[in-house]
Structure 1
Amino acid sequence: MRGRREGTSHGSSGTAAMWLLLPPLLFLILLKTDFLPQVARFRETGFTKVADEMVPKVSTLGSDGARWQQQSHDTVKQEAAKDVAAPIISKLTCNFSNIHSDICIMEGDLRIHGRSASVYVVSASTFRPESSTITVKPYTRKWENFTMSRIREVTMRSMPPAPHSFVIPPRCTVRHDVPAVVFSTGGCGTNFFHALNDLIIPLYITAHEYNGHVQLLSTDYEPKWVAKFRPILAALSLYPVIDFDGDTSIRCFPLAHVGLESHRELGIDPGLSRNGYTMMGFRDFLRSTFSLQRPWATTISRSTGQKPRLAMVLRRHSRAITNEADAITSMEDLGFEVVAAGPEDVSDMSQFAGVVNSCDVMVGVHGAGLTNMVFLPQNATMVQIIPWGGLKDGCRYDFGDPALDMGLRYAEYEVTADETTLKEKYPRDHAVFTDPKSLHLQVWKIFLEGQNVTLDIGRFRELFGVSSKGLSSCKGSWEMNGRHESAKQHGSGGRGAVLWLLLPPLLVLIVLKTDFLPQVARLRETGFTRFKDEMVNKVSSLGLDSSKWQQQSLDTENPVSAKEYNQQNKILATNGAKDGSLINSDVGAQTISRLTCNFSHRHSDTCTMEGDLRIHGKSASVYVVSSSTFRPENSTTTIRPYTRKWERETMSRIREVNIRSSAPPPYSFVIPPKCTARHDVPAVIFSTGGCGKNFFHAMSDLIVPLYITAHEYNGHVQLLITDYNAEWVAKFRPILAALSIYPVIDFDADTTVRCFPAAHVGLESHRILGINTTLSRNGYTMMGFRDFLRSVFSLQRPWTTPVSRSSGEKPRLVFVLRRHSRAVTNEADAIAAVADLGFEVVAAGPEDVSDMAQFAGVVNSCDVMVGVHGAGLTNMVFLPHNGTIVQIIPWGNLKYPCRFDFGDPVPDMGLRYEEYEVTAEETTLKDKYPRDHPVFADPISIERKGKIWEVFLEGQNVTLDIARFRGAMQQVYQSITTE
């Protein structure tokens, strides 16, 4: 327990003797000394020590969620020689399980003496001699021993309720009618990244709920830090911060927090926050604090002469851009108004916050200055320049991943070996260049403090090529993987004018010579139907940015109520017996249609349209009739409606869907196909031709994106699948039936021309197994998605609750087992070890996991899921809230990708995450390769050769070190159980 407790308990006979001696001893002490020195010695007696074996990792000493009843605003009263604490029962709850910080919350009769760093919990309802003293270092980097060594300990001393208390607590000299929050500024707060991450965001999570009526007390008090962040501190508390270490008063509070709640780097987990706080809310708080004027960044029209504004954050002593003047000039040439901000500008936080908020883009080399992205307007873009040294994962973790939760766009520029000044210090055959990750123990000295960068201006400009055209879509180096085949570059000017003149006779000739469908197929071949790269923004604002189609009533053929009709169709849809169409001739309304496409997202291309829409599945064509934004040069758009567009091999299996726009009368010379079926609900077109057989990909690539795209229609939506996979549809029928009351249509085989009032081609997708609430049109979350699944499968447990060990209850654990690769070769021993700890174990092999509906119920009955990295862990979506997922990470430097797939999504699901990383002694690869082979000596080189799947994923099993595994699971057991 890292020295939290001050000793171990004595034998039972010794304890009994101590209890007999207690009254006369205390009486003698009271006669000989005043109280405060006595309290200092009180800690030395054996019965005050915290026994490691008696205090669980999460100490539920009372009041997990209770709140003090706020009294009238009588803030501080001097009470000389008077004890004002009410004779009430106090409660104390501590949480030592969080990786970032230890925190204790208490309420009742609380007396705080800053100079002795003591908090007295008087008349504690759960007082026990062996746990009467608890210590906490109130800073949020508890895994960093060096940082925490500088943090002063705060001691919480519990006292039993009368008449059992023989110790007189110190009398209050000041009474507060507001809660207290005790924290330290002795860590890394002078660095802006750490100031925000370690202190300001945790303070917001912990103190913002009190709406200013809270007293902040800082140990290791740093006046410069307090002065710099006074605007934020004043917004959190109406009262000046108290220097805890120098405070001689005995202050009484009705409620207190010792330590700050912290979730992740520059982030907030709404599932863990008591009040559901988000980073979007935190940024709104900052905008209010600094009176920032721009909540949103909007697309800028180049034709108006306006320029998007770009802040370039510059460094001086390390990671500086040696050719910053050239970089700035190149940005200005692209059309940006550039604001160059050196350290002298960034140091004035209040002023620079306003500068950043006026910008649409922020650019800078990885460093604390990028933290100013918190002041950017929503939908703005943050571009991180990643220095040389294999730092991509770390840089993304610090700034890339948090940007999405802030409602920002993120792009990155990774420096090459030719762009770092390290080439002037080291030869090219040095490990700095050949194997930089082998030097990561010296990462700070070599790669962070030891280099500057000289940008390749031509390559750097390429990153901003699209941003200069239509800001709102700054693309990263991983995007634009083979965009539309029709997106060929053509000339402009004279050729465009000639094509416009030739358009009417050309179209008339085509109509005279051919019927429509073949004609449309050939229409794509003419030059003016292709995309011009220089004319199409990455996000094509062709209209309908946020408007929704006006849903009509269900005008059915049978005289039944809409409610009855919906119910009938829901039953029929589940059985696959009826679709949602009505036979008619040409029912397309004479309306102006609208079309909006988004090609900027890394995961998927999407087009949304409304109006007169006619869909012919067999030819994979969507006709947008009378389009308000029709232009000959972009009358045909193609989309592959699957959500892994960066994977060329996967996307090559996806059928293209063509979206064909026609001009409104009197300019239209093309006759669209006549509708043979009319739908009064929207359409969603997507593909099951990717990786849907794998449960991870089925959820991440299809089910979660379908929920984001279609759930808003409450079942009144028609799903159409290209690359139709009957097995996939059968397996996920319960979910599909909950999303749509109509059977899924096989798009490729459908010969009907169907009319819809609105349609989505492609699915909205944000991240792996996740939803970015700020990007979702309806503010969806993964917590909401899991509630949706619980409803679909009628799962009974929304939450896990701590299990009492004394009651004989056992927490339930499901062990997901594999067979052909990454199998646990000693699974019987592993299961027995976990059962010996006190778990009720459910062993689930592939045959159990394959029945999704049944296994969902099994998982929902459990508190913990354990398994080696693989698709089976995706079943964590069925765990109750607050459940724990333990991922066993195979050998091969797979920690980051394993976390990316399953660790990072966990907090947004309201779950806890633990991991067990396999050592070289625990992998069966030791039976295939000698220890000096790169598989062990340099696993990253195997990844570079593209053999990670063959060697580390499909090529190994694991033999767990049972003692080590048992120790890891012991901590999990303690965290979810109580005495």
Structure 2
Amino acid sequence: MMEKESRRLVNCATLPICLVLIGGNLSSEKINIDAVDPQEFLLRRLVRGDDRVQLDSNGFSCRADVHTQVCVANKPVRIYNKGLTVYVPSDSDQPQVKRIVKPYARLEDETAMKRVSPVQILHGNNTIDPPTCNFTHNVTAVVFSSKGFTGNVFHEFNEIIIPLFITTRHFRSRVRFVITDFELWWVQKYNRCLSHLSAYEVINPGTDDGSVHCFPGAVIGLTYHDNLALNSTDIPGGYSMFDFKQFLKESYNLKINHVSEIQKPMLMLISRRKTRRFLNEDKMVEMIMELGFQITRVEPEWMYNLDEFAEVVNSCSVMLGAHGAGLTNEIFLPTGAVMVQVVPLQNEWAATTYYGGPAKEMGVRYLEYKIEPEESSLFDTYGKDHPVFTDPKSIISKGYYAFRSVYLDQDLKINLERFKKTLIEAKKIVESSTPIN
């Protein structure tokens, strides 16, 4: 008995999280640790139920939901750059089956998916041998696209960075990323995140049409949970939003843990230049300073250099902005900070769903300021008796683009006296916030 247990511990030394499973009983299913190599064990943790049974029986499993497709292979695979083809062998005599996967976590959005190249997976045996390996790797491949809605920071985090963390964090950097629809600017922007999830250079399958990369296993596609969200009960290792924020702190070397560490309240004002602009922004700045805040105004181009911008956000007590992608940067705020979202007309659902709801899980206090009709540029454009105000459903029923052309393209002239109450509340929150020991 002692010899057998000792052998289990030696095997687990190459896979530290085995010890957690052995002692913590995270799974009701008994696993023979001796019979499972570290990579196979880690890949197995990505699937459950019938998908796990299928992976155990033939080394390959695929699942799909409304948001994403994810395929897992725990057998040696070959990735042929030409045509983005993944060859997955089978131990049985099953004929080869072709499966097409678009590895981007927004399947429900046709516009986004049109920009994502398909990956062809050939699983099973064929009379024709797969192409010969040009490069052989000893870690798992993770295949995903850097296209979709990249260029919008919300979608970059929501559909790639957070799903990538969910899918690969438990591998402890022992994975190699194969990025389809390769966007160099995106890889450079998120280099710190990528390098903290993988110890290896990324592979761009578009640079060499003839190369074949061989891996001991692969994941094609990324697991998605919800808007800027992680469901810890459905993640190998049980990672939460707190763990993701800790990962960002390590990746970007962020120094401030809690808002109480900031000596004088600092407010970041996100200044938009195209739509949902603050028409009286200068007056807003004057009032903010009169209330005792230091202030930094940032424009969208500041956000491109995430290495620097993350530190700026982390030094702020309050983030203020109109509904829009820039508010995604709340993810870098220290615990106890406040995010104030100015909600334009008919944007209530999106404001809460995309930014307000996730803020709580980030340890950020959320306040919102819903504008009155008179504070919208739509009031002067259409008048108070127009269906834009009296019957908004008639506009919304025409579809997203009709909605966008009206309600997303409005500008805002804030009622300063009314808005002051929200800012005073934000200041009280940060000044009274203390870390929880």
- Counterparts of 2:191 and 2:281, CA distance in 1: 33
Pairing partner for 1:734 from 192, 196, 207: 192
The answer to whether 1:896 aligns with 2:333 is no
Q: Which TM-score applies when normalising by structure 1?
A: 0.38
Please name the residue that 1:851 is paired with: 305
Pairing partner for 1:616 from 67, 72, 80: 80
Please name the residue that 2:172 is paired with: 714
Pairing partner for 2:137 from 653, 656, 679: 679
Please name the residue that 1:159 is paired with: none
What do residues 172-200 of structure 1 show as CA deviations (whole Å, max 9, x unaligned)?
A: xxxxxxxxxxxxxxxxxxxxxxxxxxxxx
What do residues 708-740 of structure 1 show as CA deviations (whole Å, max 9, x unaligned)?
A: 112222222111111111211121122212222
Secondary structure, counterpart of 2:199 in structure 1: coil
Please name the residue that 2:229 is paired with: 770
Write the letter of the residue equivalent to 2:169.
H
Q: Which has the larger radius of gyration?
A: 1
Counterparts in 2 of 1:97-108, with a 5 A limit? Answer: none
What do residues 505-561 of structure 1 show as CA deviations (whole Å, max 9, x unaligned)?
A: xxxxxxxxxxxxxxxxxxxxxxxxxxxxxxxxxx7566226xxxxxxxxxxxxxxxx
Pairing partner for 1:951 from 384, 406, 411: 406
- Counterparts of 1:973 and 1:800, CA distance in 2: 11
- Counterparts of 1:760 and 1:938, CA distance in 2: 48
Please name the residue that 1:810 is paired with: 264
- Counterparts of 1:642 and 1:859, CA distance in 2: 28
- Contact between 2:77 and 2:215, CA under 8 Å: does it hold in 1? yes
What do residues 356-405 of structure 1 show as CA deviations (whole Å, max 9, x unaligned)?
A: xxxxxxxxxxxxxxxxxxxxxxxxxxxxxxxxxxxxxxxxxxxxxxxxxx
Pairing partner for 2:246 from 774, 787, 810: 787
Runs of 4+ off more than 4 Å: 539-542
What's the CA shift for 1:800? 1.6
The answer to whether 1:607 aligns with 2:71 is yes
- Counterparts of 2:382 and 2:250, CA distance in 1: 49
Pairing partner for 1:939 from 380, 383, 392: 392
What's the CA shift for 1:810? 2.6
Counterparts in 2 of 1:336-485, with a 5 A limit? Answer: none
Please name the residue that 2:16 is paired with: none
- Counterparts of 2:432 and 2:339, CA distance in 1: 19
Secondary structure, counterpart of 2:275 in structure 1: coil
Secondary structure, counterpart of 1:734 in structure 2: helix
- Counterparts of 1:889 and 1:828, CA distance in 2: 19
Pairing partner for 2:62 from 597, 622, 635: 597
Q: Which moved more, 1:899-908 or 1:969-978?
A: 969-978
- Counterparts of 1:540 and 1:678, CA distance in 2: 27
Pairing partner for 1:688 from 108, 123, 146: 146
- Contact between 1:612 and 1:626, CA under 8 Å: does it hold in 2? no
- Contact between 2:336 and 2:430, CA under 8 Å: does it hold in 1? no
Secondary structure, counterpart of 1:818 in structure 2: coil
1:710/1:609 Cα in 2 relative to 1: closer, same or farther (>3 Å)?
same
Please name the residue that 2:20 is paired with: none
Counterparts in 2 of 1:132-211, with a 5 A limit? Answer: none
- Contact between 1:593 and 1:612, CA under 8 Å: does it hold in 2? no
Please name the residue that 2:329 is paired with: 875
Please name the residue that 1:662 is paired with: 124
Write the letter of the residue equivalent to 2:148.
G
Write the letter of the residue equivalent to 1:708.
I
- Counterparts of 2:310 and 2:351, CA distance in 1: 22
Write the letter of the residue equivalent to 2:186.
W
1:905/1:725 Cα in 2 relative to 1: closer, same or farther (>3 Å)?
same
Please name the residue that 1:969 is paired with: 423
- Counterparts of 1:833 and 1:790, CA distance in 2: 32
Please name the residue that 1:960 is paired with: 414
Write the letter of the residue equivalent to 2:233.
T
1:802/1:651 Cα in 2 relative to 1: closer, same or farther (>3 Å)?
same
What's the CA shift for 1:620? 1.1
Please name the residue that 1:514 is paired with: none
Write the letter of the residue equivalent to 2:285.
I
Secondary structure, counterpart of 1:718 in structure 2: strand
What's the CA shift for 1:793? 0.9
Please name the residue that 2:319 is paired with: 865
Counterparts in 2 of 1:105-120, with a 5 A limit? Answer: none
- Contact between 1:603 and 1:645, CA under 8 Å: does it hold in 2? yes
Please name the residue that 2:256 is paired with: 797
Counterparts in 2 of 1:536-615, with a 5 A limit? Answer: 543-544=54-55, 594-599=59-64, 601-615=65-79
When you count helix as a share of all residues, which structure comes out higher? 2
What's the CA shift for 1:846? 2.0
- Counterparts of 1:745 and 1:852, CA distance in 2: 22
- Contact between 2:338 and 2:429, CA under 8 Å: does it hold in 1? no
1:710/1:932 Cα in 2 relative to 1: closer, same or farther (>3 Å)?
same
Please name the residue that 1:177 is paired with: none
1:938/1:296 Cα in 2 relative to 1: closer, same or farther (>3 Å)?
farther
Please name the residue that 2:11 is paired with: none
Please name the residue that 2:90 is paired with: 626
- Counterparts of 1:615 and 1:978, CA distance in 2: 55
5+ residue gaps, structure 1 = 1-294, 298-470, 473-538, 546-591, 804-808
Please name the residue that 2:97 is paired with: 635
- Contact between 2:170 and 2:236, CA under 8 Å: does it hold in 1? no
What do residues 328-364 of structure 1 show as CA deviations (whole Å, max 9, x unaligned)?
A: xxxxxxxxxxxxxxxxxxxxxxxxxxxxxxxxxxxxx
- Counterparts of 2:189 and 2:180, CA distance in 1: 17
Pairing partner for 2:383 from 909, 930, 939: 930
Pairing partner for 1:760 from 219, 225, 240: 219
Write the letter of the residue equivalent to 2:407.
F
Please name the residue that 1:920 is paired with: 373
Give the structure, 1 or 2, with the largest relative contact order (CA under 8 Å, sep 6 or more). 2
What do residues 789-844 of structure 1 show as CA deviations (whole Å, max 9, x unaligned)?
A: 111111101112288xxxxx531111111111001111111122122222111111
Secondary structure, counterpart of 2:217 in structure 1: strand
- Counterparts of 1:877 and 1:975, CA distance in 2: 18
What's the CA shift for 1:678? 0.7
RMSD: 2.2
1:627/1:926 Cα in 2 relative to 1: closer, same or farther (>3 Å)?
farther
What do residues 738-776 of structure 1 show as CA deviations (whole Å, max 9, x unaligned)?
A: 222222211234422111111100011111111111111
- Contact between 1:683 and 1:760, CA under 8 Å: does it hold in 2? yes
- Counterparts of 1:712 and 1:935, CA distance in 2: 49
What's the CA shift for 1:627? 4.3
- Counterparts of 2:248 and 2:165, CA distance in 1: 10
1:643/1:771 Cα in 2 relative to 1: closer, same or farther (>3 Å)?
same
Quick one: percent identity of the two aligned structures?
Answer: 35
Secondary structure, counterpart of 1:544 in structure 2: helix
1:905/1:603 Cα in 2 relative to 1: closer, same or farther (>3 Å)?
same
- Counterparts of 1:930 and 1:898, CA distance in 2: 25
1:716/1:828 Cα in 2 relative to 1: closer, same or farther (>3 Å)?
same
- Counterparts of 1:832 and 1:850, CA distance in 2: 27
- Contact between 1:595 and 1:627, CA under 8 Å: does it hold in 2? no
5+ residue gaps, structure 2 = 1-26, 30-47
- Counterparts of 1:741 and 1:969, CA distance in 2: 44
Pairing partner for 1:648 from 81, 95, 110: 110
- Counterparts of 1:674 and 1:875, CA distance in 2: 45
Q: Which TM-score applies when normalising by structure 2?
A: 0.84
What do residues 484-522 of structure 1 show as CA deviations (whole Å, max 9, x unaligned)?
A: xxxxxxxxxxxxxxxxxxxxxxxxxxxxxxxxxxxxxxx
Pairing partner for 2:161 from 688, 703, 707: 703
Write the letter of the residue equivalent to 1:605.
Q
Write the letter of the residue equivalent to 2:429.
S
- Counterparts of 2:230 and 2:432, CA distance in 1: 33
- Contact between 1:541 and 1:597, CA under 8 Å: does it hold in 2? no
- Counterparts of 1:296 and 1:897, CA distance in 2: 39
